[in-house]
Structure 1
Amino acid sequence: MKTITIMVPAYNEEESLHYLYERLFGVVDGQKGYSFELLFVNDGSQDETLPIIKELREMDKRVSFVDLSRNFGKEIAMIAGLDHAKGDAVVIMDADLQDPPELIPEMIEYWEAGYDDVFAKRRSRAGESLMKKATSSLFYKVLEKMSDVPIQKDTGDFRLLDRRCVEALKKIRESQRYTKGMFSWVGYNKKEILFDRDPRVSGETKWNYKKLADLAIEGITSFTTAPLRLSSFLGMGVSFFAFLYMIWIISKTLLYGESVAGYPSLMSAILFLGGIQLIVLGIIGEYLGRVFNETKIRPLYFVDEYNEEKVTNRSDLVQHSAQHGGER
């Protein structure tokens, strides 16, 4: 019998967990020939998320959980879940039920047909503002133009991954993570299914515009060096026009003479060039900061508890390598 792990990162989701459990097992209980593991990754929740997860596990041993030592963010929570997932395939979904569990049987069918990565693409996005939809669309367009890796547009983390995709992702131990791009980067046989995304079943989204902006920067800097190349072209273009302007100034002075006037144009040129330099330095700084973080070779996360057992994060189990399978 094949095992399928349904992995759910959770951060302050106390209002959604019972709904998720009932609806999820209402769907998968009808899938004969499979055993299911519901794996929660508690990402340092400050509400009753962890006690509720433990309550669900006492009631149903198909529920497992990984309790991280603090809030590391969703990207890190997902790799922690992949490290601990036992299934032959892993379904990743959010706790807020915007990802409908009713799609899981269809994902399993395509998986059995030979697809390694069955991902759900949003046909519509209920409950999201026009501003968020517009900025999301703009981000994907920019990233598609810049990146050499095909980026799946309007696609989140809701997908089924075959075990070999999971093992490939576990080998990527970058601390600055953009998992949506990693799904594309590892390759394998992919299949798209369309769905209409529902609004949250309860609570409020944990994503504000600052976090979304940070995620966008992660996506661009993780999968393309185009901003650095653009900075070079911008610098060369500005230098070229500055050189032409310098020739014009020198020629004009030699032919007609020049008064001391010109302070406004001089200040405009200085401020413009200074602004360009600061932008370029900022872009370089973003990449340099990521190099700095990666060279620390810190463990991606620490586990406080795994299925009622306190975890000793021994140094030999938290190396900067996927071969150890994370912190168990």
Structure 2
Amino acid sequence: MKKLITVVIPAFNEQDTIPVLVEKLAYFFKQYIQYAFECIIVDDGSTDSSRSIIANLCQQYPWLYYVFLSRNFGKDMAMKAGIDQARGDAVITMDADGQHPIELIPEFIQAWEAGYEIVYAYRELSFASEHRNLRMRMQHFRSRLFYRIASRLTDLKMEQGLSDFRLFSRRVAQTITQFHDKELFLRAIFKWIGFKQKGIPYRPLQREFGQTKYTLRSLIRLSLQGITSFSVKPLNMAIYLGLTISVLSSLYIPYVIWSFMYNHPISGWASMIVTVAFFGGLQLMILGIIGIYIGKLFIQTRFHPPYIIETTNLHIHTGSGVEAASRPSTPVHTHIMK
């Protein structure tokens, strides 16, 4: 029996890119016939025509399946929803924007057959020709800064430009389904779980339709979410920062004593106001860090499902880490390819 490989694609408002991507996958599957393939597209609450397009494509391709979430739960949660339903001997995750080169999949499979449990792609970052304009250079800089900070604060070695384009074994997929985090950062999770891993550099393709969903605001949110999920270093840094400021402040005491003894007035109303404002802002920042951790505890302890499946054309796996996924409203059929 051929080995089954499941491709999981989270999508949000990608009505123009999905047909092109599915057509490319169909052509690739025909060329790579030594494996059986299936593809699960997880729609993460799209507001455009993505769902109707995906449903129509599923009528054309017997290996294509959909999972429609009840609302937007975030890319990582949508990806996990697809991983929970995947039944392949290996699982491939990739974006729906068409920037991940499908031609890299054979190299993924070859490394997997050689014994690697996780094979991931990381983007080659450089100020080369693909970064001619200021916008691309700023995206490049933000990406480098994000992964550098995340690697330092989480103690996980994450290559700059690490992407969600990866292949992993069935054993790894079963491990991922055991995570019930309400705020997922899968790029760090795949690093944290270990196993034998291999990274492959790649150059992203040009996006043909739409714009990237990763704005500066979403990147900052992802940074805070990922770092606080895997490390308490921000709290330790707050302690060291407070200790350092206390030590430096104590150096001011001899000057105050000297001024009092020799009746030398201490001036500097403006500097005092600036100092008070600075320490007030610093305290609010530290309280905000503590608040993030307390908020994560609150979110994690709520008995809410991590995501809700509104409808799907495949059987929902039981015991796959989905705590309260609804049953499909349309007839279902099994999706094991022989």
What's the TM-score once normalised by structure 2's chain length?
A: 0.88
Structure 1 position 207, deviation (Å): 2.0
Residue 139 of structure 2 aligns to which amino acid in structure 1? K
Describe the SS at the equivalent of 1:161. Answer: strand
User: Of 290, 311, 315, which residue of structure 1 is paired with 2:296?
Assistant: 290
User: Of 256, 264, 269, which residue of structure 2 is paired with 1:249?
Assistant: 256
Describe the SS at the equivalent of 2:58. Answer: helix
User: Of 279, 286, 290, which residue of structure 2 is paired with 1:280?
Assistant: 286
Residue 226 of structure 1 aligns to which amino acid in structure 2? K
> Is the contact made by 2:41 and 2:82 (CA closer than 8 Å) also made in structure 1?
yes
The aligned counterpart of 1:99 is 100
> Is the contact made by 1:124 and 1:195 (CA closer than 8 Å) also made in structure 2?
no
The aligned counterpart of 2:74 is 73
> Is the contact made by 1:124 and 1:197 (CA closer than 8 Å) also made in structure 2?
no
> Is the contact made by 1:83 and 1:325 (CA closer than 8 Å) also made in structure 2?
no
Describe the SS at the equivalent of 1:29. Answer: helix
> Is the contact made by 1:152 and 1:184 (CA closer than 8 Å) also made in structure 2?
no
Gap change, CA 1:257 and 1:194, over 3 Å in 2: same
Is the counterpart of residue 322 in structure 1 residue 313 in structure 2?
A: no
Structure 1 position 190, deviation (Å): 0.8
Structure 1 position 77, deviation (Å): 0.3
Spell out the pairing of 1:203-282 with structure 2 (5 A cutoff). Answer: 203-254=210-261, 256-259=262-265, 261-282=267-288
Describe the SS at the equivalent of 2:244. Answer: helix
Residue 321 of structure 2 aligns to which amino acid in structure 1? A
Structure 1 position 26, deviation (Å): 1.1
Instruction: Give the unaligned 5+ runs of structure 1.
Output: none
Describe the SS at the equivalent of 1:25. Answer: helix
Describe the SS at the equivalent of 1:45. Answer: coil
The aligned counterpart of 1:9 is 10
Gap change, CA 1:273 and 1:247, over 3 Å in 2: farther
Spell out the pairing of 1:113-132 with structure 2 (5 A cutoff). Answer: 113-124=114-125, 126=130, 129-132=136-139
Residue 275 of structure 2 aligns to which amino acid in structure 1? A
Calculate the aligned-residue CA RMSD, in Å.
2.3
Residue 81 of structure 2 aligns to which amino acid in structure 1? A
- For structure 1, which segment, 9-18 or 142-151, has the greater mean C-alpha deviation from structure 2 after superposition? 142-151
The aligned counterpart of 1:189 is 196
Gap change, CA 1:39 and 1:70, over 3 Å in 2: same
Describe the SS at the equivalent of 1:188. Answer: coil
Give me the whole-angstrom Cα distance separating, in 2, the residues matched to 1:101 and 1:268.
Answer: 56
Give me the whole-angstrom Cα distance separating, in 1, the residues matched to 2:267 and 2:75.
Answer: 58
Structure 1 position 308, deviation (Å): 7.4
Residue 146 of structure 1 aligns to which amino acid in structure 2? L
The aligned counterpart of 2:154 is 147
Aligned length: 320
Structure 1 position 324, deviation (Å): 6.8
Give me the whole-angstrom Cα distance separating, in 1, the residues matched to 2:281 and 2:109.
Answer: 53
The aligned counterpart of 2:30 is 29
> Is the contact made by 2:306 and 2:322 (CA closer than 8 Å) also made in structure 1?
no
Describe the SS at the equivalent of 1:118. Answer: strand
Structure 1 position 276, deviation (Å): 1.8
Structure 1 position 250, deviation (Å): 2.4
Give me the whole-angstrom Cα distance separating, in 1, the residues matched to 2:267 and 2:124.
Answer: 61
Give me the whole-angstrom Cα distance separating, in 1, the residues matched to 2:266 and 2:248.
Answer: 23
Describe the SS at the equivalent of 2:13. Answer: coil
Instruction: Give the unaligned 5+ runs of structure 2.
Output: 328-338
> Is the contact made by 1:84 and 1:326 (CA closer than 8 Å) also made in structure 2?
no
The aligned counterpart of 2:48 is 47
Describe the SS at the equivalent of 1:129. Answer: helix
Is the counterpart of residue 302 in structure 1 residue 301 in structure 2?
A: no
Structure 1 position 261, deviation (Å): 4.1
Gap change, CA 1:204 and 1:145, over 3 Å in 2: same
Give me the whole-angstrom Cα distance separating, in 2, the residues matched to 1:45 and 1:223.
Answer: 29
1:195-248, Cα deviation, whole Å (9 max, x unpaired): 111121212222221111111111221222111111101101111122221342
The aligned counterpart of 1:167 is 174
The aligned counterpart of 1:133 is 140
> Is the contact made by 2:259 and 2:265 (CA closer than 8 Å) also made in structure 1?
no
Q: Percent identity?
A: 37
